[in-house]
Amino acid sequence: MRRGGIVLRLYEIAGVFVVALLTWFGERAIMADDARPAGFRLATFSTDVTPPLGHSLLGGTTTPPPAHRIDDPLLARGFVLIGGEKPVVVVSIDWCEIRNDAYDRWREALAEAAGTTRERVLVTAIHQHDAPLADLEAQRILDASKLGGSIVDPAYHERSVQATVAALREGLKSARGVTHFGTGEAKAVRIASNRRYIGQNGLPKFDRSSMSGADAMKSQRDEGVVDPWLKTLSFWDGDTPLCALHVYAVHPMSNWGSGRVTADFPGAARLRMQDAHPEVFQIYASGCSGDTTAGKYNDGGQVAQRALQDRLFDAMSASWKSTKRQPLTRLDFRNSPFELPLRTTAGYSEADLKQQLESDDSKKRCLAALALSWRNRHAAKQPIDLPVLDFGSAAVALLPGETYVAFQLAAQRMRPNDFVIVMGYGESAPGFIPIEQAWKENDSNLSSWCWVDPGCDPIMTAALRKSLAP
């Protein structure tokens, strides 16, 4: 073969090699594109929603005096996940509760900022007691009575909403692509215990609060029904973690009632996680913990407070370390609105509540106003939303009020092969939402802060099953 022919043949071989190489890289690029669903992006946001000194705590309904000292800033921390039909928003707030039209105000304002609808905005309060409680209609009822009392300052409430809206809008400017979500879980040891426990006489008792005396801590041997698992849902851009949402079912108080505003041990554990993993935006939310407290392991002292913080941080750390990733390929949203029955027992009629509104006791007036606000909502036939974000093998549900932990455990049983996170303290207007057993056993916690009748259990269970149905 002539020299020119040899050179031509070498060029042909090289050309085939280059084409093959380009084809290989092209296939890898296509595979990479397949792993990154078009349009999935994540924005995170955080803002300070600390009340001013002198603001009422726990809605002015019980012993805490107005805020006279700020121990910790209270935060609203959340994310916007863009993809699927419309964006979804999840925000967890260091407040006690958000109810009725105040709850709708949060959802509507954040929905407008995120370009979505209000049912797709999942607002949850962590439920620290030395923190604000928001119900604008209840405040209007108090104001109209002209007898005094303060649940929430509407101007401060609106400033908090607007600050969170501004933070969300700013976060959207730096939204990141999301390729994967992660799931992790770990047992939280010696934190939660149920208000219900079995006494020495073999009968159930319900007097376990967030703080127990040393003798009570020793005598209350069983934890009762709890969900021991702290669960973490995370979002990733390839190998880069972006955000982690930790959820655990316990009343978030180690000590309260002093008028010192605090995010308490969940806020401290969240801050420690943020310091330990500065590249990952950390969010904490309370699970369904209407009947679970730290009472078995907490006497309200500083040693116990620190121990609760350490144990929660350890559980968050272990859950994060256990994370397993999988491609984010879908985001489904389902919502099942439902209505709950009004409380009909003595003292809860409209006439009874209006009489209590004229009481000399400002705490009774505030409670009556909250109850009347719920009645007004019920009369308007405005249902409660039960939203679920479904990622296929994982789902996030938001339940209303101080829902008992049995509903959280039931939700997990409805999807036994999937990773199910259940947050509580969404629309908090109903107060305690117990299982039917609690009524039958005369749960003493239902003597107040519960504005619903028996019969809620099957209604909410049906709505939960419908929203969780894959």
The rounded Cα 279 to chain-centroid distance in angstroms is 22
For 265-289, how does the pLDDT look when each residue is reduced to its tens digit (9 = 90+)?
A: 999 999 999 999 999 999 999 999 9
Flag whether pLDDT at 263 surpasses 90: yes
- In the chain, the N- to C-terminal Cα span, in Å, equals 69
Give the C-alpha separation, 397 to 467, whole Å.
8
Alpha helix locations (H) across 277-381?
A: 302-321, 350-356, 362-379
The mean pLDDT of 241-258, rounded to a whole number, is 95
Reported as a pLDDT band with limits 50, 70 and 90, residue 219 is low
The residue extents of the domains of the chain are 41-468
Average per-residue pLDDT for the chain = 91
Indicate the residue type of 2. R
Helix (H/G/I), strand (E/B), else coil: 449: coil
Element (H, E) at 241: strand 240-248
pLDDT of residue 213: 65
For 149-204, how does the pLDDT look when each residue is reduced to its tens digit (9 = 90+)?
A: 899 999 999 999 999 999 999 999 999 999 999 999 999 999 999 999 888 888 89
Reported as a pLDDT band with limits 50, 70 and 90, residue 216 is low
Give the C-alpha separation, 287 to 247, whole Å.
6
Between 100-114 and 362-379, two packed helices, what is the crossing angle to 10 degrees? 60
For 11-65, how does the pLDDT look when each residue is reduced to its tens digit (9 = 90+)?
A: 344 443 433 443 343 434 333 333 444 579 999 999 999 999 999 999 998 766 8
For 427-464, how does the pLDDT look when each residue is reduced to its tens digit (9 = 90+)?
A: 999 999 999 999 999 999 999 899 999 999 999 999 99
Flag whether pLDDT at 467 surpasses 80: yes
Strand-strand pairing, 419-423 and 394-398: parallel
